[in-house]
Amino acid sequence: MNSHPALPFLLLFSASLLYSGNGGKVLIFPVDGSHWINMKILLEALHSQGHQITLLRSSTSWYVSEFSPYYTSITISTNQLQHFESQAAMTSLLKQSMKIRRNQGSLWTFFEFYRNGADFFREGHKNMAKLIVSILENKTLLSQLNETGYDLFLTDPTFPGGVMVAHYLKLPLVFNVRWILSGEAHFAIAPSPLSYIPVMLSRFTDKMNYFQRTKNLIYYVMLVYMSHYVCNPPYQAVCDQYFGKNVSILSLIQAADLWLMRVDFTFELPRPTMPNVIYIGGFQGKPSKPLPSYLEEFVQNSGEHGVIVMTLGTLLSNLGSEVSEIIASAFAKLPQKVVWRHIGKRPDTLGNNTMLVEWLPQNDLIGHPKTKVFVTHGGTNGIYEAIYHAVPVLGIPLIFDQYDNMVRLKARGVAEIVEVATMNVESLTSALKNMLDPEKPYKQNMIKLSQLHHDKPIKPIDNAVFWMEYVMRHKGAAHLRTESYKLPWYAYYCLDVIAFIVAVTLLIVALISVSCRCYINYLLKWKKFKFE
Ligand SMILES: *[C@@H]1O[C@H](CO)[C@@H](O)[C@H](O)[C@H]1NC(C)=O
Ligand SMILES: *[C@@H]1O[C@H](CO)[C@@H](O)[C@H](O)[C@H]1NC(C)=O
Ligand SMILES: *[C@@H]1O[C@H](CO)[C@@H](O)[C@H](O)[C@H]1NC(C)=O
Ligand SMILES: *[C@@H]1O[C@H](CO)[C@@H](O)[C@H](O)[C@H]1NC(C)=O
């Protein structure tokens, strides 16, 4: 084709016109590891709308690359690895939690479980706070950021360092969020009755009996304890130093303009919410693309039996050889073909129906018509892809929210759970055969769930972009935010009002009873006097 020599320049020119028309400047502070995967999707969507993106990253980051066509990065030099990107920290957490789960049921296990989690998060939050101090100490960087005049600050408050930078720069703040310091993010801003809202790590659904509700309350107390004594202190120290004693990290989080919640109620349990919460669960969903030829050939060879896809996430792939052998043997007993994302030693019992890969095009494989079951650790990225493509899930949950996620899916009748600490070849094989049984309703239920998930007026990712642009256009969304977080706890529950009403009532009752007694005494005396 012979194009006019000026065409590229014209295109460039019109692109820049378009850009100055509706492009905003967005500053992003991501969390590393698997959280980066979903931040990246939002970032690319923003970029495709002509917004200009700047990203703050730590110099030790593995996932967040310094150079990208989508953003310009500012690298904060540090020698500390941020926690979610540290393979060593993850592996050690996983090892500990497997050990604990083998001895499940004792009180010791209960505390050991939380102590283990606390150790992991304490280190993580300390490192994050240090990173923020190096930002707040760098006046050149701060004034450079301030002068740029960003329209929006986007961050993930799982590690809420970005919140403080946004507060310092006084920028409209939007969260890409599901978790905060003390568990599920709704708990920070929306009423959350513990009678029907299971807390993180409880493994309950919204139907709890008396003992489960008791346990739910105990788990909640543990989370509150963790957030006050483990997660909060490093950030509070930074707040105290840079913003004054009366600014708490929690109130900075609660003051965010908009919460893009990675939640969809086809999968999550219904609960009270707030006007500034926008649900974007499933925003990663997209049609599958053709597979690379070596995979396509393998998948087609499965014939009528179909394919099982297995992956255990970004940082948890290597479970140790004992578990790998169990999984490999179970797969070898099936007529299906298996694509298994596995890192580490090749299991000896691996069947010839199983292909090991170090990386797999997850969405394309799950979306392949031959795929029958998705075997996963229960991270939400994979779960939403399974819902999108209507593929039943077998969960082998490992840590964090994964068990809770699987419990929710199981309650919808589209999944089963295998306990990794106690599974053996027989139990895993029978769980897989059960899921693959065409008589069982898993597939039908999943098709129904998938239809519900797709039936929306606007795609979740477009919704996310709309609301971010909304915040840019209106320089915040304070009118959607309740003022509840500024209230002291006794005012929040109206305890001061109740106390006053109770006091007045008691006073009146006391007055009445005293005056009655006086009157009766008077009458009695009068009677005595009369009849004497
Ligand atoms: C402060 O930030 C600037 C700009 O990003 C950078 O060039 C400089 O190295 C930073 N200084 C320190 C001490 O980290
Ligand atoms: C940012 O710059 C404005 C002027 O452009 C100035 O008034 C303000 O104090 C600066 N804020 C910070 C936090 O440096
Ligand atoms: C904190 O105190 C400072 C001065 O003492 C005041 O200007 C500021 O508004 C207070 N902030 C909050 C959140 O109460
Ligand atoms: C795979 O292994 C089974 C039994 O171990 C054998 O019967 C079958 O022929 C093998 N298939 C291929 C393609 O090698």
Q: Where are the domains of the chain?
A: 16-283+459-482, 293-454, 491-515
Distances (CA, A) of 436 to 335, 374, 395: 11, 11, 14
| CATH topology match: 16-283+459-482 vs 293-454 | yes
Closest ligand 2 atom, CA of 170?
13
Q: pLDDT tens digit string along 343-400?
A: 888 999 999 999 999 889 999 999 999 999 999 999 899 999 999 999 999 999 988 8
Closest ligand 1 atom, CA of 75?
5
CATH superfamily of 16-283+459-482: Glycogen Phosphorylase B; (3.40.50.2000)
Closest ligand 3 atom, CA of 251?
13
Give yes or no for residue 244 CB within 6 A of ligand 3.
yes
Q: Provide the pLDDT for residue 393.
A: 97
Q: Provide the pLDDT for residue 293.
A: 94
Q: What is the Cα–Cα distance from 122 to 259, expressed in whole angstroms?
A: 25
Q: Provide the pLDDT for residue 84.
A: 58
Q: Provide the pLDDT for residue 391.
A: 97
Give yes or no for residue 144 CB within 6 A of ligand 2.
no
Residue nearest to atom 6 of ligand 3 (CA): 246
Amino acid identity at 288: S
Write out the two tokens for 44: 């690319």
pLDDT tens string, the chain, 532 residues long: the values are 444 545 444 444 444 444 444 689 999 999 988 789 889 999 999 999 999 999 999 998 888 999 999 999 999 988 776 655 567 777 777 777 777 777 766 777 778 778 888 888 888 899 999 999 999 999 999 999 999 999 999 999 999 999 999 999 999 999 999 998 778 999 999 999 999 999 988 899 999 999 999 999 999 999 999 899 999 999 999 999 999 988 999 999 999 999 999 999 998 999 999 999 999 999 999 999 999 999 999 999 999 999 999 998 766 666 778 888 999 999 999 999 999 998 888 999 999 999 999 889 999 999 999 999 999 999 899 999 999 999 999 999 988 889 999 999 999 999 999 998 889 999 999 999 999 999 999 999 999 999 999 999 999 999 999 999 999 999 999 999 998 999 999 999 999 999 999 999 999 999 999 999 999 998 888 877 766 6
Best residue for ligand 3 mutational test, from 164, 167, 168, 246 (most atoms within 8 Å of Cβ): 246
Q: What angle do helix axes 425-436 and 321-332 make, rounded to 10 degrees? A: 40
Residue nearest to atom 10 of ligand 1 (CA): 138
Q: What is the Cα–Cα distance from 292 to 425, expressed in whole angstroms?
A: 31
Distance from residue 507's CA to the centre of ligand 1 (Å): 65
Apex 385 CA angle, 383 and 387, nearest 5: 70
* DSSP secondary structure letter of residue 59: T
Best residue for ligand 1 mutational test, from 60, 138, 144 (most atoms within 8 Å of Cβ): 138
Q: What is the Cα–Cα distance from 121 to 42, expressed in whole angstroms?
A: 26
Q: Provide the pLDDT for residue 479.
A: 95
Q: Which ligand is nearest to the CA of 57?
A: 1
Q: Provide the pLDDT for residue 344.
A: 82
Residue nearest to atom 8 of ligand 3 (CA): 246
Q: Provide the pLDDT for residue 312.
A: 86
In this structure, the number of other CB atoms found within 10 A of the CB of residue 352 comes to: 7
Dihedral angle over CA of 40, 41, 46, 47, nearest 10: 70
Q: What angle do helix axes 87-102 and 107-136 make, rounded to 10 degrees? A: 160
CATH class, 293-454 region: alpha beta
Please name every residue paired with 28 in a beta bridge, in sequence order, or none if there are none: 55, 154
Closest ligand 3 atom, CA of 247?
13
Q: Provide the pLDDT for residue 32.
A: 84
Q: Which ligand is nearest to the CA of 149?
A: 2
| Pure H helices in 244-287 | 249-254
- Mean pLDDT computed over every residue of the chain: 89
Distance from residue 253's CA to the centre of ligand 3 (Å): 16
Residue nearest to atom 11 of ligand 1 (CA): 138
- Do residues 92 and 315 lie in contact, with contact meaning Cβ atoms separated by under 8 Å? no
